[in-house]
Amino acid sequence: MTRHDRPRRLFVATLALILGFTALSDGGGGAPPAAAAPPPSGSTPPSTSTAPSTSTPPSTSTPPSGSTPTSGTTPTSGTTYSNPITEPFADTYADPAVIRGKDGWWYLYATSDPLVSGGPFGIMHVAKSRDLASWEYAGTIFDEENRPSWAASGSFFWAPDIRYVDGQYVMYYTVTDTATNPDAWDYTIGVATAPTPTGPWTDSGGPVLDPRPAPGGGYLNTIDPGLFTDDDGSRYLYFGGFNGGLWVTRLDETGTRAVGEPTRVTVADRYEGAFVVKRDGWYYLMGSSANCCSGPVTGYSVYTGRSRSPLGPFTDHESVSLNESRVGGTQVVAQNGNRWIGVGHHAVLTDVSGQDWMLYHAIDKDNAWLDEPGGINRRPTLLDRLDWIDGWPVVNAGAGPSEGPQAAPVAASELGIVSADPASGPGLRRVAGTLARGSDGSGDAGAIARLVPDRRHAAVVRTAPAPRDVRIETDVRLPDADGSFTVTVGGTGPTGVLVRLDAEARELVVGQGRRERRAALPAGTDLTTWRVLTVEVRDGAVAARLSSSGLGDVDAEVRFEPRVPLPRLAPVHLTADGAEAQLDNLTVVAAHDPVTRRVAEPRAGAVTFAEEFDGADGALEPGWRWLHAPADVEVADGALSWPLTGHDLVGGANNAPVLLRDAPDGDFVLEATVTLPLGENTVRNYQQAGLLVHAGDDDFLRLGAVSIWQTRQVEFGKELATDGRTWFGGHVSGPVADTMHLRLFHTVDPATGEHRYRSASSRDGRAWRFGATWTLPADADPEVGIYAGGAASPAVTAVFENVLIRDLG
């Protein structure tokens, strides 16, 4: 019978919470004992030296210059952590995914590498933590008994993605080789479900979408899944890699099969590892780029673009598309010159104060490989703060990956509330009705709080003041699929703002007095299963969001500007009306104070040397020397014209022509302006030109505009001879134009003496994009200069307008 069929009776259970930052007292007696309750309702990029790989099978600090951000004061848990967070149990823990279980633990998943040197390949891994700082290993996802039968016996399982959907945990993952096709590496996506974050996992019995043959043979990269659920109930699965690009497909109601034709959202040859969040009406697509796994020269990094639609088009902060040849992408994190390189393949979480964090893997440049078996990179998981500045995400305000102790995420409640057992402890005070401890008989939540209305009303009160800027988060379900659950901030008088989850109206409502804003719940939203409800008050505005997983997905969202200002201190009330509401993982904390300014970028100062190619009879300024001199270079009319040949610095030939001079002492900026018309959308691997730091033919850094298959990018590459082998890897950026302005900022690490080189590029000489930092040893004595080459066909000439050396500003 519906609520309209009953006599109108006010069924209310209210929890009033008042938050304080001084020592909390009981006010002379503490919380009264929980009342007895009726039984619960319901169930108790490839580098430019080779063709792009199709994801090679795994056979295998100090911050940068600039100030530490000071514009935000985020509440902390009082604990610290240091990267890598997986060090206690793993040498490598790559492609991380994360979720908070209904039992209050955080769970961290990883790809199917050995955890330690000499260890076995696990079929994906899971670890757990109470506080996001200290982690312990919890086992594998599959074993040989329950691994998907449709995967070939030699298949690897990569890049898990974890979500909570309608009362169960759902994991998507890459299967590198199916038993369906005789060909190897016919990549596709699988899905499994479990009642708890640690299993037992049951595979769906087949792929979510079929392997996709690539033009010319082999298969496109149908890898690296990422689920996103929108506020209309649509489920989207993002996937893909360098061979084919990133794509998105809709899923059916079960989430186990793709429907319709997928949509490509990025150009091929650039991105993998998609992760999507929705924020302020924008869909942010984040992905990783460059080589993931080249040991001590890995340049992997994370980028983003945004769109008003989950299907794109996604563009970066300069409105450059991620789906065009001259590809865009706003950098989220890149290596900064400390020990961490290859920083990428990430997941995003939000702590209970509202601060976002990024989990991603990285490589220690001085300890890049597992000792046994050979060929596997050590890629432990790192955790760092993710800031939103001017509408764009960036790690540590642009400072990049951290070393040393960091303030840990806020993972527990204030007020003496026991988050995982809200009805226990002194944090909640019952006034009337029933607040009782219950147990989650249908899932993994364990102890829960039951708010059961009586014929009048009930309340639980806390006697300490609540600040205006506060964040409340709770898992909530309405086991009778009836009634409502309300969070009230700002007191119960005319200043109070109510956030109501209404099962009858199927709405999320925020209002003050007679003013209300509403968002309809998607059709099929099952409120008898757990949902994450967050209410955040900041600068007088209220934001409420209901989601399934709390991972950037959204079932409903409302923003509200009260006309009557909220008081500086006031209670927070939690109310059940008309039917029982159940709560778990309840937290009430001060809302984080966001960082709003980036760390300072380095600046170029006065010119100390200028080669403008205007000498008489083509003469260069003194100090230059040719290494492997080209035959056809011409200096005339204020330019050096350099027809490209097939010679390349990368590899063992060591015959590529380069123009070098001694590097100045101390800090400096190396700069050049070069025109190289590479066109668009055609394959002309790997024509390029740019700046060079040359310590030897197998020991150099280069920054250039380059053609990589159908894309045109800026690559900052490094070649290194070590352990009897020569390795090349690169960081990529851009976008490019025919004429590019390139800079390398050189500094010396005062602690180690290492040489640090940070890249920057610009299409107009005014708006600069900063890239990554590569290092050279303290005893290196490199020369600096310019290079051009990579391929002779089609014929093209690089034209250098100048080479400048500047002071560091």
Residue 618: what are its φ and ψ, rounded to 5°? 75, 15
pLDDT at site 758: 99
Measured distance between the N- and C-terminal CA atoms of the chain, rounded to whole angstroms: 74
pLDDT in tens, 768-780: 999 999 999 999 9
Q: 681 is written with which tokens?
A: 């959308």
What confidence category does residue 72 fall into, taking pLDDT thresholds of 50, 70 and 90?
very low
CB 465 within 8 A of CB 486: no
pLDDT in tens, 286-301: 999 999 999 999 999 9
> What mean pLDDT comes out for the span 354-382?
95
> What mean pLDDT comes out for the span 489-496?
87
Which DSSP string corresponds to 319-374? --BTTSSS---EEEE---SSSEEEEEEEEEEE-TTS-EEEEEEEEETTS-B-SSST
What confidence category does residue 571 fall into, taking pLDDT thresholds of 50, 70 and 90?
confident
Q: 182 is written with which tokens?
A: 């005789």
pLDDT at site 652: 87
**Whole-number percent of the chain with pLDDT over 90:** 81
- CA nearest to 789, candidates 684, 649, 619, 604: 649
pLDDT at site 623: 98
Q: 234 is written with which tokens?
A: 């649509």
Contacts of residue 529, Cβ cutoff 8 Å, sequence gap at least 6: 166, 167, 477
Q: Is the confidence at residue 457, as pLDDT, over 90? A: no
- CA nearest to 291, candidates 46, 85, 38: 46
Q: For the chain, what is the largest distance between any 2 Cα atoms, rounded to a whole number of angstroms?
A: 101
What confidence category does residue 458 fall into, taking pLDDT thresholds of 50, 70 and 90?
low
Helix/strand/coil (H/E/C) assignment for every residue in 85-112: CCCCCCCCCCCCEEEECCCCCEEEEECC
The least confident of 99-108, 192-201, 421-430 is 421-430
Q: Is the confidence at residue 53, as pLDDT, over 90? A: no
Q: Is the confidence at residue 590, as pLDDT, over 80? A: yes
Which DSSP string corresponds to 633-701? -EEETTEEEEE--S--SSSS-----EEEEEPPSSSEEEEEEEE----SSS--TT-EEEEEEEEETTEEE
pLDDT at site 77: 61
What confidence category does residue 653 fall into, taking pLDDT thresholds of 50, 70 and 90?
confident
pLDDT at site 44: 32
pLDDT in tens, 147-179: 999 999 999 999 999 999 999 999 999 999 999
CB 205 within 8 A of CB 191: no
Alpha-carbon gap, residue 102 to 125, rounded angstroms: 19
- Buried-exposed string 281-306: b where 16+ CB fall within 10 A, e elsewhere: ebbbbbbbbbbbbbbbbbbbbbbbbb
Domains of the chain (ranges; CATH) run 3-28+413-590 (2.60.120.560), 80-268+336-407 (2.115.10.20), 604-808 (2.60.120.200)
Cα distances (angstroms) measured from residue 562 to each of 465, 497, 513: 20, 7, 9
CB 772 within 8 A of CB 716: yes
Q: What's the count of helices (H) and strands (E) in the chain, helices before strands?
A: 0, 51
What confidence category does residue 567 fall into, taking pLDDT thresholds of 50, 70 and 90?
confident
> What mean pLDDT comes out for the span 90-110?
98
Residue keyed to tokens 């993931």:
292
Alpha-carbon gap, residue 678 to 676, rounded angstroms: 6
pLDDT at site 29: 33
Q: Which amino acid is at 113?
A: D
Q: Is the confidence at residue 446, as pLDDT, over 80? A: yes
Alpha-carbon gap, residue 605 to 807, rounded angstroms: 5
Please give the mean pLDDT across all residues of the chain.
Answer: 90
CB 72 within 8 A of CB 593: yes
User: What DSSP character marks residue 35?
Assistant: P
- CA nearest to 383, candidates 349, 354, 342, 341: 349
Cα distances (angstroms) measured from residue 681 to each of 183, 219, 402: 29, 21, 38
Cα distances (angstroms) measured from residue 35 to each of 362, 426, 436, 483, 789: 51, 14, 6, 21, 79
> What mean pLDDT comes out for the span 796-808?
99
pLDDT at site 784: 99
The least confident of 54-63, 220-229, 544-553 is 54-63
pLDDT at site 30: 34
**Whole-number percent of the chain with pLDDT over 70:** 89
Alpha-carbon gap, residue 241 to 272, rounded angstroms: 4
β pairing state of 97-100 and 625-627: unpaired
pLDDT at site 142: 98
The model scores a pTM over 0.75: yes
Alpha-carbon gap, residue 353 to 372, rounded angstroms: 42
pLDDT at site 220: 98
Q: Is 304 helix (H, G, I), strand (E, B) or coil?
A: strand
Nearest-5° Cα angle at 752, 748 to 753: 35
Q: 351 is written with which tokens?
A: 């702590």
Q: Is 398 helix (H, G, I), strand (E, B) or coil?
A: helix
Contacts of residue 307, Cβ cutoff 8 Å, sequence gap at least 6: 282, 283, 285, 313, 314, 315
pLDDT at site 429: 76
Q: Is 495 helix (H, G, I), strand (E, B) or coil?
A: coil
What confidence category does residue 629 fall into, taking pLDDT thresholds of 50, 70 and 90?
confident
Cα distances (angstroms) measured from residue 105 to each of 86, 127, 133, 458: 16, 10, 12, 30
pLDDT at site 5: 35
- CA nearest to 713, candidates 703, 705, 721, 723: 705
What confidence category does residue 59 fall into, taking pLDDT thresholds of 50, 70 and 90?
very low
| Sign of the CA dihedral running 294, 297, 298, 299 | negative
